[in-house]
Amino acid sequence: MWQYIFFPAIFMKEDVGYSVRVPSLPGCFSQGDNLRHATEMAGEAIGLMLEGVAPKDYPEPVMPSMDELNEGDVIVAVPFDKTAYDRKYNSGSVRRNVSLPKWLDTLASENNLSLSTVLQKGLRSTLNV
């Protein structure tokens, strides 16, 4: 079961909204109209930066140093949930080949069961997602 990982981010007040920088992920920047929107957008930016990276290879979140802050900046712990991110952006179907006993296939067909649906429900239940 996936858990949140929190990345400390520097939120900088702008004339309108906030700009955001995530020091643990070089090149990770975002912005938002208000603090809540900026936090959501920072989570999306984190997801983009970690796209294709295995969770075991994620960089360790580090707290920004005081030297990185300007007057008025605030540090916010931005949550990232890989499962939620993947559900939103990587929900396309993939084709998988499965093997099962002939008698079970026959029984499923006789009961008009969709093996794809049964497999998805079983995986969700097993993985608690």
Q: What residue has token string 């649906």? A: 117
- Look at residue 2 in the predicted model and tell me its pLDDT: 54
Instruction: Count the alpha carbons within 13 Å of 94 in the hemisphere toward its beta carbon.
Output: 6
Residue 47, SS3 per DSSP: helix
| Two tokens, residue 99 | 């093997």
- Look at residue 91 in the predicted model and tell me its pLDDT: 81
Residue 48, SS3 per DSSP: helix
| Two tokens, residue 104 | 């079970």
Q: Is 7 exposed, middle or buried (0-12, 13-18, 19+ CB in 10 A)?
A: buried
Which amino acid makes up residue 79?
Answer: P
Percentage of the chain with pLDDT > 90? 58
Regions in the chain scoring below 70 on pLDDT: 1-2
Per-residue pLDDT of 70-98, as tens digits, reads 999 999 999 999 888 988 888 888 888 88
